[in-house]
Structure formats: structure tokens, C-alpha cells
């Protein structure tokens, strides 16, 4: 089930995806019949962090049990939560399945500091985080439903790594690409990354242009969606300006 053998992603595709908003990406996935790729209810907790993009490294929790989930478990370096923190690779995103239960935190400041130090690209949980003020100062993209002070042991039992999970009602397979911005997080199935990446970047550029035209007074008709004349005007301006390639 661990997906170590996955074919590598093309850096150009990642760069293209990284230029697209999560809104644009869901539209591209929608074209391929995928309607459940956006993780609803998660908000960015790290105002100073860059947009998030990286491969999913998954951690699964089940409900805690009082005789199993005691503070002493953290003395074990093989505890899945602690192991995950030291295994999530540079450029990867730790995605945690907390069954949407945010009454106890999924993780806290020290663990997220460690992941930031190790170069993780981001943290996503359908639960909450503790020490949210410290976390908000890290240079790490973080998404959760909010904060909670309670230790994860009270409700969550970390059980395994790198298995397919549900997060906020969305299937996330290890190696899928997670993208995050102000609207939240979208999960791009790995095999669709090369399929949609360039189209997403192009849609993004076009819509940025169209939004400006609408801001200047253009009506929807002819502009959004763009008719032939608008598309020609867009192409003319594109050839004039330096569009950043990634």
C-alpha cells in the first residue's frame, strides 16, 4: 500500500500547478468528472507562509482508547505520529485523517516546528492544531479547521502511515499532489497531474486577464466566458508582457 515505486512527477507540471489557484484546479478536475477533490472546511492557519504544493504523506488516526492512549506512548520513537514527523520528506505535505473531529488537536507547535525544519511543504488536517499562535509564526503552510488545546491522545490514536485516507470527506492517496491557497486545499490525484497542470496554468493566466477586463467595466457577455475577440485581445497582450513561465 505504501507507494514508494510511484513514477516521479515532472517539475514543470508541479511548477504549472503551483501557479494555478485551487479554484482553477478544481475546475480542471471537474472536466474529468471529479467532483470531490476539494477539502471543505479547512482554513489556512499560517498567514505568512507561501502557497502550498507537495506530495501527500498520509497519517491515519482512529478514535483513542483510554487504556492504550496514554502519555507514555510518546516515549516510543516508533509511535506513528512521531515517526511521521521524522519521515515526511522535503517538499511533502503531511495529510492527517482525524475523522473530522477537532475537539482534540492533531499535533502542536513542536512537531510542526520539526517538520518546518525538515523542509516539509505543508500540513493538512481535518481536525485542529494546538499552540496555534506559535504555529502561525512558522514558515510552513498549515491547514486545519481551527485550533484546540486538548492533546491528541484524548481522542485520536495514530495508527498507520502512507495508506489511502479520507480527509475532510475527500480521498487522499499517498503521492497525490496537495495544493493550498486562501480558499483551502485541493487534492490532485497523482495520475492527473500531467493531464491538467498546463491547462490549469493557462486557465489561471486567462482568468487573471479576464478579471481585469471585468474590473474595467467589461460585461460578462463576450468576456466570461471569453469570445473570439476577447481571446485574440488576450493573446495580443500575452505576447507583449512577460508572462512568468513558472
Chain residues 59-88 in contact with a copy of itself, contact rule CB under 8 A:
62-68, 71, 74-75, 77, 82, 85-86
What angle (nearest 5°) sits at the alpha carbon of residue 22, between those of residues 18 and 24? 95
Span 14-43, contacts to a copy of itself by CB under 8 A? 21-23, 25-27, 30-38, 40-41, 43
Joined grid coordinates for residue 116? 518546518
Identified binder of a copy of itself from the candidate list 8, 11, 47, 219, rule CB under 8 A: 219
What angle (nearest 5°) sits at the alpha carbon of residue 232, between those of residues 230 and 238? 105
Number of helices and strands in the chain (H, E): 7, 14
Q: How many CB atoms lie within 10 A of CB 92?
A: 21
Span 91-150, contacts to a copy of itself by CB under 8 A? 99, 102-105, 108-111, 113-114, 116-117, 128, 130-134, 146-150
- Pick the closer one to a copy of itself by CB: 11 or 150: 150
- Pick the closer one to a copy of itself by CB: 220 or 241: 220
Q: Is 221 in the site for a copy of itself (CB under 8 A)?
A: yes
Span 156-215, contacts to a copy of itself by CB under 8 A? 157, 159-160, 163-166, 169-171, 181-184, 186, 189, 207, 210-211, 214-215
Instruction: Give least dist CB 25 to a copy of itself, A.
Output: 7
Q: Which among 70, 13, 19 has a CA at the least distance from the CA of 244?
A: 19
Instruction: Give least dist CB 180 to a copy of itself, A.
Output: 9
Site size for a copy of itself (CB under 8 A): 88
Instruction: Tell me the torsion sign for CA atoms 57, 184, 226, 201.
Output: negative
Instruction: Tell me the torsion sign for CA atoms 227, 181, 82, 167.
Output: negative
Amino acid at each position: 500500500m505504501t507507494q514508494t515505486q510511484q513514477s516521479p512527477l515532472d517539475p514543470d507540471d508541479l511548477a504549472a500547478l503551483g501557479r494555478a489557484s485551487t479554484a482553477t484546479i478544481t475546475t480542471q478536475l471537474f472536466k474529468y468528472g471529479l467532483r470531490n477533490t476539494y477539502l471543505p472546511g479547512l482554513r489556512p492557519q499560517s498567514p505568512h507562509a507561501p502557497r502550498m504544493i507537495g506530495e501527500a504523506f498520509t497519517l491515519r488516526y482512529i478514535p483513542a482508547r483510554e487504556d492504550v492512549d496514554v502519555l507514555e506512548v510518546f516515549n516510543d520513537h516508533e509511535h506513528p505520529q512521531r515517526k511521521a514527523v521524522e519521515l515526511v520528506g522535503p517538499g511533502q505535505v503531511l495529510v492527517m485523517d482525524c475523522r473530522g473531529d477537532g475537539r482534540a488537536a492533531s499535533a502542536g507547535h513542536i512537531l510542526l516546528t520539526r517538520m518546518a525544519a525538515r523542509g516539509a511543504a505543508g500540513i493538512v488536517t481535518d481536525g485542529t492544531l494546538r499552540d496555534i499562535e506559535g504555529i502561525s509564526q512558522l514558515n510552513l503552510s498549515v491547514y486545519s479547521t481551527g485550533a484546540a488545546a486538548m492533546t491528541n491522545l484524548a481522542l485520536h490514536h495514530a495508527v498507520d502511515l502512507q495508506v489511502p485516507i479520507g480527509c475532510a470527506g475527500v480521498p487522499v492517496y499517498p503521492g497525490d499532489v496537495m495544493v493550498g491557497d486562501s480558499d483551502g486545499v485541493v487534492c490532485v490525484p497523482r495520475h492527473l497531474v500531467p493531464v491538467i497542470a498546463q491547462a490549469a496554468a493557462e486557465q489561471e493566466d486567462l482568468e487573471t486577464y479576464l478579471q481585469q477586463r471585468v474590473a474595467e467595466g467589461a460585461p460578462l457577455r463576450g468576456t466570461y466566458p471569453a469570445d473570439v475577440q476577447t481571446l485574440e485581445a488576450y493573446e495580443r497582450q500575452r505576447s507583449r508582457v512577460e508572462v512568468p513561465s513558472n
